[in-house]
Amino acid sequence: MKIGLEVHVALPTKSKLFCSCSMADTDAPNSQICPICLGFPGSKPMLNEAAVSSALGIANALHCAVNNSISFVRKVYFYPDLPKCYQITQMDGAIGSAGHLDIDGKKVRIRRVQIEEDPAQIVREGMLTLLDFNRSGTPLVEIVTEPDITTEEELRSFIANLRSLLYYLGVDINKEIKADLNISLPPKDIRVEVKNVTGIKSLIEATRFEIERQTDAIKNNEGIARETRGYNEKSKLTESLREKETDEEYGYIYEPDLTTFEISGTKFVKATYVGRIASELAEGTDVNPRTIREITMLDRHSLGLIDKFKGKYGLRSIIHGIQRFKKYGSEEHASDAEIEKIIGLVESGAEVTREMVLDILAGKDVKVEYSRLTDGQLDKMIKEFLEKNPKLLEEYKKNSKTINLIINQIAQKNNLHPKDVAKRASALLNSA
Ligand SMILES: [Zn+2]
Position 174 scores a pLDDT of 63
Compute the distance from residue 8 Cα to the ligand 1 centre, in Å: 20
Q: What is the whole-number distance in angstroms between the Cα of residue 42 and the centre of ligand 1?
A: 14
The SS3 assignment for 274 reads helix
Q: Find how far residue 69's CA is from the centre of its chain.
A: 21
* pLDDT at residue 39 in the model: 93
- Quote the ligand 1 centre to 33 CA distance (angstroms): 4
In this predicted structure, what is the pLDDT of residue 367? Answer: 79
What's the predicted TM-score (pTM) here? Answer: 0.74
Distance 77 CA to ligand 1 centre (A): 20
Strand partners, 208: none
Pairing of strands 227-232, 192-198: parallel
In terms of Cβ atoms closer than 10 Å to its own Cβ (0-12, 13-18, 19+), residue 362 is exposed
Distance CA 376, CA 380 (A): 6
Specify the higher pLDDT residue, 318 or 175.
318
Give the pLDDT score at 310.
80
Is the bond leading into 119 cis (omega within 30 degrees of zero)? no
**Residue 190 pLDDT greater than 70, yes or no:** yes
Convert the pLDDT of each residue in 206-253 to its tens digit: 999 999 988 888 888 888 888 888 888 787 788 877 776 777 777 889
- Ligand 1 centroid–CA 17 distance in Å is 9
Rounded distance from Cα 169 to ligand 1 centre (Å): 26
Q: Is 354 left (phi over 0), alpha (psi -120 to 50) or beta?
A: alpha
CA 209 – CA 216 distance, rounded (Å): 11
* Whether the bond into 187 is cis, omega within 30 of 0: yes
Q: Average the pLDDT over each of 67-76, 240-249, 258-267, 270-279 and give the range with the smallest value.
A: 240-249
φ, ψ for residue 305, nearest 5 deg: -65, -40
**Cα 131 to ligand 1 centroid, rounded to whole Å:** 15
Residue-range domain boundaries for the chain? 2-254, 298-361, 375-431
Phi, psi angle pair for 338, to nearest 5°: -65, -40
Q: Which of 201, 98, 202 is nearest to 144 (CA)?
A: 98
